Each structure stands twice: as C-alpha cells, then as structure tokens.
Amino acid sequence: MLDKHGIAKRIAQELEDGYYVNLGIGIPTLVANYVADSINVEFQSENGILGMGPFPIEGDEDPDLINAGKQTITALDGAVFFDSATSFAMIRGQHVQLTVLGAMEVSDQGDIANWKIPGKMVKGMGGAMDLVASAENIIVAMMHTNRAGESKLLKKCSLPITGVACVKRVVTNMAVLDIDERGFVLRERAPGVSVDEIKAATEGTLVVEGEIPEMAI
C-alpha cells in the first residue's frame, strides 16, 4: 500500500518532457517533488503563473506571489504571470497537457465529485469544474477508500459531481486504473497489494485482464 508520497511518485512517472501541468491542492501538489531530472515540465497555477517554483526560502515570501492554494511560492527563470481569463484560456483551450487533482469520488464512467458535500459548508468549486471539463488528460490522485473504509471508486457518484465522463486515469494507494467504456481497468497494483484486495475495495465495475504487474516506484 502506498502513502500519499508514493501516489505522487507514481503520478510523476506520467509526466512527459515538454508538458505544461496543472496540479491541484493536496496529494497532486506533491507530484512536483518527484519529477525526473531527465525531463522538463512547467507547472501552471490557475491564479496566474506558468513556471511555478518551490516554496520560497524563509524570509523571501512575497504576498504578490502565490499559487491557487494561496501558498507563497517562487517563480523560476522563464516564468510568466497572466490574468485569470488568460489562465483559463490556457486550460479550456487545452494548452495545458495534464491536470492532476484530488477527488472524493470517481465513477466507473469517469465522473468526478470533489467540490460539495450536501449538509456541510459549501466552499465552492474554484477552478475544478473548468479544469475537469477542459483537460484531455486528467489524472485523479486519491486514497482508494474513505476514512470509513468505503470505496471511493463507484458505479455512480453519490455526491454532486464536478464533471461528467472526464477522468481517464486514477492513481490510488492501492492501484493504477484507467477508465474506458467498460469501467475501471486495473493496470497496476501497489507493492504488496493483491488483485483480490483491489476488487474488494472497488465498488464500481472493475476489469481485470491477465497478470496485473506491481507498480515500479
């Protein structure tokens, strides 16, 4: 079983040279720590920066330089700032090659729910609906089950959805799964996790074809 850093490491393997990438808040943010030295990628934050760098050195924080999580950041050489409409033109216009975001639930049709829990305070969707509706390539990073041990990979989302039929790949603490017209297609197992354990933790339709390799992390 992976921890959140393991999930981030596995997702970092999906990055290709020349990609512009938008990372959501939470586990996705950790992906930036595991990018291979052999490739060059640039991180976009939807509040208006391309070429986002690591957190600043203590004392160098700049209130005019934050990411979409409102955290202080730095700008790398070659970085650029832009307004919010231009930022979402990059996203909607599919100039950003990969979006990684967290989810509360994903359905075997590729629907995603990550913005609202009825009865709890609704904070808003931020940029999530634009991101999931627009990206060609969306990877969801999340735990396979919730704190109560219930599957987050469902036949149908029980929570209000953020986007319809948009998620292509899910990386959890237990597995890598693709989504196609058949449902969740199991691609890889996390180290030490069996196919049966993944089956038991997946409520949505799970397709298992042949030998399922263990992730190489």
Q: Is 81 in the site for other proteins (CB under 8 A)?
A: yes
136 is catalytic: no
Residue type, 214: E
Part in contact with other proteins (CB under 8 A); list of ranges 10-18, 115-123, 137-145, 176-184: 115-123
Residue 85: other Cβ atoms inside 10 A:
8
CA–CA separation, 50 vs 189, rounded Å? Answer: 34
**For other proteins, which is the closer residue by CB, 13 or 47?**
47
For residues 172 and 183, is the Cβ–Cβ distance under 8 A? no
Residue type, 104: M
Q: Is 69 in the site for other proteins (CB under 8 A)?
A: yes
For residues 75 and 53, is the Cβ–Cβ distance under 8 A? yes
**For other proteins, which is the closer residue by CB, 140 or 171?**
140
Q: Is 76 in the site for other proteins (CB under 8 A)?
A: no
- DSSP assignments along 187-213, one per residue: EEE-TT--HHHHHHT--S-EE--S--P
Question: Parallel, antiparallel, or unpaired: how do β-strands 49-53 and 42-45 relate?
Answer: antiparallel
Part in contact with other proteins (CB under 8 A); list of ranges 4-12, 69-77, 139-147, 173-181: 69-77
**For other proteins, which is the closer residue by CB, 3 or 62?**
62
Q: List, in sequence order, every beta strand (DSSP E) within 108-174.
A: 112-113, 138-141, 153-154, 169-171
Part in contact with other proteins (CB under 8 A); list of ranges 31-39, 79-87, 96-104, 181-189: 79-87
Which member of 46, 105, 188, 203 is catalytic? 46
Q: And the tokens for 186?
A: 């199991």
Give residues in contact with other proteins (CB under 8 A).
45-49, 54-73, 75, 81-85, 87-88, 91-92, 111, 116, 121-130, 133-134, 160-164
Active site amino acids: 46
